[in-house]
Amino acid sequence: MINDNIKEFIYEDILPRVEKPGRYIGNEWNSVHKGLEGINIRFAFAFPDVYEVGMSHLGIKILYHLLNAQEDIYCERVFAPWSDMEKEMRENNVKLFALESRDYIDKFDFIGFTLQYEMSYTNIINMIDLAGVPVSADKRIEGQPFVIAGGPCAYNPEPLAGIVDLFALGEGEELILEIMEVYKEWKSSGKSRIEFLRAAAAIKGVYVPSLYKVEYNTDNTIKQVAPIDEAAPKKISKRIVKSLKDSYFPDKIIVPYIEIVHDRIMLEIFRGCTRGCRFCQAGMVYRPVREREVEELVEIADKLLTSSGYEEISLSSLSTGDYSRLQELVEKLMSKYQSNRVALSLPSLRLDSFTLKLIEEVQKVRKSGLTFAPEAGTQRMRDIINKGVTEEDLIKSVGSAFETGYNGIKLYFMIGLPTETLEDIEGIADLAMKVISRYYQVPKETRPKNLNLNVAASSFVPKAFTPFQWEPQDRIETLIEKQKHLRAALKKKQATVNWHEPQVSYMEAVFARGDRRLHEVLIKAWELGCKFDGWDEHFRFGKWMEAFEQCNIDPEFYAYRRRDLDEILPWDHIDVGVTKAYLKSEYNKSLEAELTEDCKVACTGCGINLLEEGGVC
């Protein structure tokens, strides 16, 4: 426990000296505070980024309240302290503490991280160290917390295999409670730390990397990944919540004191995606599609608005336009809340699911910008990635937006996709020019003023469990050339062009498809000062290259090498339900620019219906 004098010192002496003390105060509306009597498990839910980013994440909202709904579990929040706060903490010997109780988390039972982004990995190490816990899993001793991690990046857990004790793969609502039950039984037994890990490994969806051995070939590819303990399964299958009907969703959310990235209610309308974009990891690993009923969503929205006071609802999913009852839902929400000036916002919309009727409903309270994702500038490239939309879809959609008064449009593209040429880059500029032209086709008297077209071009990062998992990433110099080519091709005052730094995308590619040897690089890079690598002002590419050199590991082996289709991949012992045979088939179809139907039309044989007995599709 933190001594009361230390708690007072933090809040009276340290916080007045940092940039945003609201990140560390706690005590927000709807935060949960429990006495420790009767508490059997203390769980630190750790988000490896600043408060404003972490508090915008839907997963933390769900699992925080789910765990706290259990009488004998106390879940508290921890975020990565910004550099000014960390400096104060280290200089004053203050360890990482939980916001709710302000207790140090090194005495908690679990420190649980959500893995949303590869460039947060050094923050994980830094937070573990700030907590006073060994950063290497094999150095932790009896009585120290278990480090557990989940989230999309956990589907290739290997770069963190030496740091994280156990991974929770798939959807967490049922899985996390099963892990807690096993932990309670272990805790009362007095058995050793390894015995809990062995017991946890028997739970479907739990991966304990220390129970597996990786052997390598002479060319540094993987020879095999095999369990070294009879408690460990050969394959670890992700967990799926079979139905969202009446599945847990909180009826209240924490209301921060300071502005956060997504400062609104997030209403999860469905999970999964049927589209099958070949670059998209989320579209593969979050299968199958399961929807919430409109009536339940309206009821949830009512409770959240009442308990939070928010005045905006965001409909959350991978592809909101694909919700089967979207128009009905939007109409019911707007009918119920329009008089109270509660706005509705939609995330990036598919071009072929955007309708004038929908936009007219959404803008009844206030307009926000609209985001569309053509992903590629030419139809050839859109067919290769199986995007399934056309130029006509885009022009029709932006035309409807302009005619109803929207003047802010964001177009999202990727550059560096497999087989891409400079002609495809020019296609991005051509498409943007056609959007501008469509704006001027709206009669002047009804045309919205001051068109603001934002063209965002991120660099392609090959990801595990996608048809492009075998593809190399474009070299940094090639991406820079393509970025310059795009800017030169699109010189219009109405359009701004933004992109990600290719060096950051390079590091993403290394860790997205890396193996467990990379945990040494992560620790070394952290020792050299790397952290907050997703923030431009903190990213230090030179230090990363120094870390690779000191560890005698070539990052190009992971980012630039084309994988053989029969090669054993670092994540092959993980089963997300989508088969490797299906991914190979989709990869081969991409080489022929052959489209695969939306699986709402017909089953495409991805394998997800075989993951659970009886099927879930």
The DSSP-derived string for 374-413 is EESSSHHHHHHTT----HHHHHHHHHHHHHTT--EEEEEE
Mean residue pLDDT across the chain: 94
pLDDT at residue 612, rounded to an integer? 63
pLDDT at residue 170, rounded to an integer? 97
483 to each of 415, 536, 559, 560, how far by Cα in Å? 8, 17, 19, 19
Max CA separation in the chain (angstroms): 78
- Is 102 among the domain residues? yes
What average pLDDT does the segment 399-428 reach?
A: 94
**104-127: pLDDT as tens digits:** 999 999 999 999 999 999 999 999
Check pLDDT > 90 for residue 363.
no
Percent of the residues in the chain that have a pLDDT greater than 70, as a whole number = 98
Check pLDDT > 60 for residue 605.
yes
d(CA 596, CA 372): 21
Number of compact structural domains in the chain: 1
What average pLDDT does the segment 25-43 reach?
A: 96
CB 523 within 8 A of CB 136: yes
Domain residues for 41? 4-217
pLDDT at residue 23, rounded to an integer? 97
pLDDT at residue 4, rounded to an integer? 62
What average pLDDT does the segment 37-62 reach?
A: 97
pLDDT at residue 71, rounded to an integer? 97
- Is 41 among the domain residues? yes
d(CA 612, CA 183): 25
Check pLDDT > 90 for residue 357.
no
- Is 174 among the domain residues? yes
- Is 502 among the domain residues? no
**208-264: pLDDT as tens digits:** 999 999 999 999 999 999 999 999 999 999 999 999 998 999 999 999 999 999 999
- Is 421 among the domain residues? no
- Is 189 among the domain residues? yes
CB 186 within 8 A of CB 197: no
- Is 188 among the domain residues? yes
Q: What is the CATH number of the domain that holds 113?
A: 3.40.50.280
- Is 135 among the domain residues? yes
Split at pLDDT 50, 70, 90, the class of 614 is very low
pLDDT at residue 492, rounded to an integer? 80
What average pLDDT does the segment 148-177 reach?
A: 98
CA-based nearest residue to 113, from 158, 68, 144, 79? 79
